Amino acid sequence: MATYDYVEKAIKITRREFLGVVGVGAAILWTGAYAATDLVQDRTKYIKLRAAGLYRDDAKAAARQSHNNAAVGEMYKKFAGKPLSPLAEELFHTRYVDRSKLGGMRS
Amino acid sequence: MQGLRPQELAEIIAIDRKKCKGCDACKAFCPTDAVTGKYGAVHRVDGERCLFCGQCLVNCPFGAPQDTVDIVDKVIARLKDGRTTVVAAIAPAVRVAVGEEFGLEPGALVTGQLLGALQTAGFKILDTNFAADLCIMEEGSELITKIRHYALGEAAGHAPGPLPQFTSCCPAWVRYAELYCPQLLPHMSSAKSPLMMAGALAKTYGATEVWRTNPENVFVVGVMPCTAKKFEASRPEFASAAAYWHKRGSAGSYPDVDVVLTTRDLARLLKKLNINLTAAAEFSDADNPLARYSGAGTIFGNTGGVMEAALRTAHFVITGQELAALELNPVRGLKGVKAAGVTLRDAKTGREITVKVAVVHGIKENLGPIVDEVVAGRSPYHFIEVMNCPGGCVNGGGQPINPMGTSWLDKYKAILPWS
Ligand code: SF4
Ligand code: SF4
Ligand code: SF4
pLDDT tens, position by position, A25-81: 444 344 333 344 555 667 788 899 999 999 999 999 999 999 999 999 999 999 999
| Domain boundaries of chain B, sorted by first residue | 1-68, 72-130+193-296, 142-188+302-395
pLDDT reported for residue B160: 87
pLDDT reported for residue A105: 41
| CATH number for the domain formed by residue range(s) B1-68 | 3.30.70.20
Render B334-347 in DSSP notation, one character per residue: S-SEEEEEEEEE-T
3-state secondary structure B269-286: HHHHCCCCHHHCCCCCCC
B322 is catalytic: no
- Topology (CATH) of B72-130+193-296: Rossmann fold (3.40.50)
Task: Assess contact for A63 and A70: CB atoms under 8 A.
Answer: yes
**Distances from the Cα of B246 to the Cαs of A4, A92, B7, in angstroms?**
48, 17, 20
Whether residue B363 is predicted with pLDDT greater than 70 in this model: the reply is yes
Separation between Cα atoms, residue B322 and residue B329, nearest integer Å: 17
Q: Among A86-90, B26-30, B174-178, which is the least confidently predicted range?
A: B26-30
- Would you call B85 helix, strand, or coil by DSSP? strand
pLDDT reported for residue A41: 67
Domain range B142-188+302-395, CATH architecture? 3-Layer(aba) Sandwich (3.40)
Whether residue B242 is predicted with pLDDT greater than 50 in this model: the reply is yes
Residue nearest to atom 4 of ligand 2 (CA): B50
Render B120-177 in DSSP notation, one character per residue: HHT-EEEEHHHHHHHHHHHHHHHHHHHHHHHTS----SSPPPPSSEEP---HHHHHHH
Separation between Cα atoms, residue B53 and residue B65, nearest integer Å: 12
For residue A64, give the nearest of B61, B196, B294 by CB distance: B294
Instruction: Supply the mean pLDDT for chain B.
Output: 92
- Would you call B360 helix, strand, or coil by DSSP? strand
Q: Among A98-107, B25-34, B397-406, which is the least confidently predicted range?
A: A98-107
Separation between Cα atoms, residue B4 and residue A95, nearest integer Å: 15
- Does A7 or B254 have the greater pLDDT score? B254
List of E strands, B328-415: 337-345, 352-361, 383-387
pLDDT reported for residue A20: 52
Q: Is the ipTM of this complex over 0.90?
A: yes
- Would you call B88 helix, strand, or coil by DSSP? strand
Output phi, psi for B219, to 5 deg: -120, 110
Q: What is the pTM of this model?
A: 0.90
Which residue on chain A is closest to B28 by alpha carbon? A9
- State the pLDDT confidence band at B404, using cuts at 50, 70 and 90: very low
pLDDT reported for residue B152: 81
Report how many helices (DSSP H) and strands (DSSP E) chain B contains, helices first. Answer: 14, 12
Give the best residue of A6, A7, A40, A72 to mutate against chain B (max B CB count within 10 A): A72
Helices B194-201, B128-150: axis angle to 10 degrees equals: 110
Task: Assess contact for B337 and A2: CB atoms under 8 A.
Answer: yes
* Cβ contact, residue pair A72, B392, below 8 Å: no
Instruction: Compute chain B's Rg from CA coordinates.
Output: 22
Q: Among B22-31, B42-51, B222-231, which is the least confidently predicted range?
A: B22-31
Separation between Cα atoms, residue A103 and residue B391, nearest integer Å: 34
Nearest Cα of chain A lies from the Cα of B275 at a distance, in angstroms, of 23
Amino acid (one-letter) located at B75: V
Separation between Cα atoms, residue B233 and residue B196, nearest integer Å: 7
Whether residue A22 is predicted with pLDDT greater than 90 in this model: the reply is no
* Cβ contact, residue pair B177, A96, below 8 Å: yes
What is the tens place of the pLDDT at every residue in B55-96? 999 988 888 999 999 999 999 999 999 999 999 999 999 999
- Would you call B87 helix, strand, or coil by DSSP? strand
